[in-house]
Amino acid sequence: MALAIAVHFTITDAKNKSSTTTVHVPTGFSLAQYLEFGTAMGQIIADLSDGVLTGISVSIPLSLSGATIRAVADIVADIAKKGLLIAGSAIGGLFARFNLPTYDEGHTVANTDEIDMADSDVAAFVAVLEGGAGGASPCDLRGNNLTDVLSAREIFRKFQ
- Alpha-helical (H) ranges within the chain are 31-47, 120-131
pTM assigned to the model:
0.71
Identify whether the C-beta of residue 78 lies closer than 8 Å to the C-beta of residue 156: no
Annotated domain spans of the chain: 5-59, 81-156
114: CB partners within 8 A, 6+ apart? 108, 152, 153, 154
pLDDT tens for the chain, 160 residues: list them. Answer: 567 899 999 999 999 999 999 999 988 889 899 999 999 999 999 999 999 999 999 998 888 877 777 767 788 888 888 999 999 999 999 999 999 988 999 999 999 999 999 999 999 999 999 998 888 889 988 889 999 999 999 998 765 5
Length of the chain: 160
Instruction: For residue 96, give the nearest of 57, 147, 160 by alpha carbon.
Output: 147
Cα–Cα distances (Å) from 18 to 28, 122, 150, in that order, read: 30, 35, 30
